[in-house]
Amino acid sequence: MSATVNDRDLQLLARYHRQHAEDAFAEIVRRHLNLVYSAALRQVRSPQLAEEVAQSVFTDLARQAANLKPETVLSAWLYQVTRRTAIDVVRREARRQLREQIATEMNAMNATADEWPHIEPLLDEAMSALDDTDRTAVLLRYFENKSLREVGQTLGASEEAARKRLSRAVERLREFLAKRGVSVGTSGLIAVVTANAIQAAPVGLAVSISATAALAGSMLATTTTATQVTMNWLNLKSIAAIAAAAITAGTGTFLVQERETSRLREQQQDMVIQHEELVRERDFALASAAAKSDELDRVQKDKLELLRLRGEVGVLRRQAKELESSKTENVQLRAALAAKEQSLESLASDSPEGSDKAIGIMKLTHAKQFMLGMHLYAGDNADRFPDSFEVLVPYFGDTENPALTNLNQFEIVYSGAITNIPSPASTIVIREKESSFLNGKWVKAYGFADGHSEIKSLPEEGFEVWEQRHMIPSAAPSDR
């Protein structure tokens, strides 16, 4: 940007600050709106959010107009403020999306035992569809409750690699179930599998299987030994003798097995008692671990709640400061308007021409005051303009304000959301009901969505046609 253009920007800004010249500020907005909007759009990736950022940036410019240094390059200043504002908006949206994600995850984890009957007949088929490494990782982590570190050591990988492999494997299981009509979230699937995949075997089954396996091993070893000894004496002429020896060996083995079975039965009783004690100890350990886990979750939730409350306190403090600043600016603006009206009354008493000029400036001032009230109301009501002037009275502060006596001379033509207005600087929100003949021409006063006001001379096509080109319909009641 050349120095001449920047000087022109600063002159317009200075005139706006000294004289409250809305046309000067509207010209600045017209010059730089595309820059601000485009920079915001690249960062927030949303036209609606980009409009919000642009509106906030130019509001900051209006507030900081008196504080800008003479050497300030306005385009660079606007670009930097746009970037900071966009970052704040992106962070706010990220926090909102995080809250929604957490809510979604919590809903997904609500998978109850009622879902297990649908998952159970398909689980082993889904497990067999995984490759060997993924299947091993799932078995260790969710069937045997191994830690991520233990899973990684078993697979010969890092803890983070084990975490990623488990995430992919669970997602494949979920997709497998979804193709067969069982819809369940990832977190819900993990919870259901962990709780139900492993069932306690009947008491004493382990001892019985051990005994049976030991007997089978003993029988096989004894028979094999007898067969090897017999084969050493084997020859083609002694087949009948070999058969007799085999029968004898089998009978001897049977007697040994009977003695071994009696001994193992006695051991079984002791092992059953030990098993019951171990089950009780395991249940107690699981209950203790669950209690500790619940306590840890509660502490984590308390920390998150504390951080959230601290953030909200910070936001409230900032909003309180901004509100106090707005109140101060409002008082200053009212004092300036009162002084301007006194000067207008003095000017009107000097000459007829001065009277017409004073009336025109007064209409312009009242329209500006009405738009200030409209914006203050919108700030308290989800950025929506009102449909009646009556609700604006509390925002004027002084019930003796001369502008209140002229409310019936204006009407509201747009009462929807500010965000639905594509071009606030050229969109009419309020207008004077009837035109006036001042200084030899017909004129009407208007208030625009960006807050500025204008006195418009009769256009060639007439007021009605011109107004239609600068108005948009209000939102339907159902959209409010």
Give 442-457 pLDDT, tens digit per residue.
999 999 999 999 999 9
d(CA 166, CA 176): 15
Give the number of other CB atoms < 10 A from CB of residue 102. Answer: 11
pLDDT at 341: 61
4: confidence class by pLDDT, cuts 50, 70, 90: low
pLDDT at 319: 83
Above 90 in pLDDT, residue 199? no
Token pair belonging to 108: 């997904």
Above 80 in pLDDT, residue 361? yes
Summary mean pLDDT of the chain: 81
Of 64, 55, 54, give the one whose Cα is nearest residue 10. 64
pLDDT at 174: 93
Please count the residues of the chain: 480
Say if residues 256 and 222 touch (Cβ distance below 8 Å).
yes
Say if residues 472 and 429 touch (Cβ distance below 8 Å).
no
pLDDT at 237: 45
Say if residues 119 and 184 touch (Cβ distance below 8 Å).
yes
Give the number of other CB atoms < 10 A from CB of residue 315. Answer: 11
1: confidence class by pLDDT, cuts 50, 70, 90: very low
pLDDT at 249: 45
Above 60 in pLDDT, residue 240? no
pLDDT greater at residue 265 or residue 419: 419
pLDDT at 247: 46
Say if residues 148 and 195 touch (Cβ distance below 8 Å).
no
Tokens 């097995």 sit on residue:
257
Collapse the DSSP code of 423 into the 3-class scheme (helix H, G, I; strand E, B; otherwise coil) and give the result: coil
pLDDT at 243: 43
pLDDT greater at residue 255 or residue 268: 268
Token pair belonging to 217: 């091993």
**pTM for this prediction:** 0.32
d(CA 39, CA 110): 42
The continuous run of DSSP H or E covering 47 comes out as: helix 47-64
d(CA 348, CA 367): 19
Phi-psi region of 452 (alpha: psi -120 to 50; beta: other; left: phi over 0): beta
pLDDT at 211: 63
Q: Write the DSSP string, 288-313.
A: HHHHHHHHHHHHHHHHHHHHHHHHHH
Alpha helices for 349-420 (secondary structure H): 352-380
Domains in the chain (CATH in brackets) are 3-108 (1.10.1740.10), 113-196 (1.10.10.10), 205-288 (no CATH), 363-479 (no CATH)
Dihedrals φ, ψ of 255, to 5°?
A: -65, -40
Say if residues 431 and 444 touch (Cβ distance below 8 Å).
yes
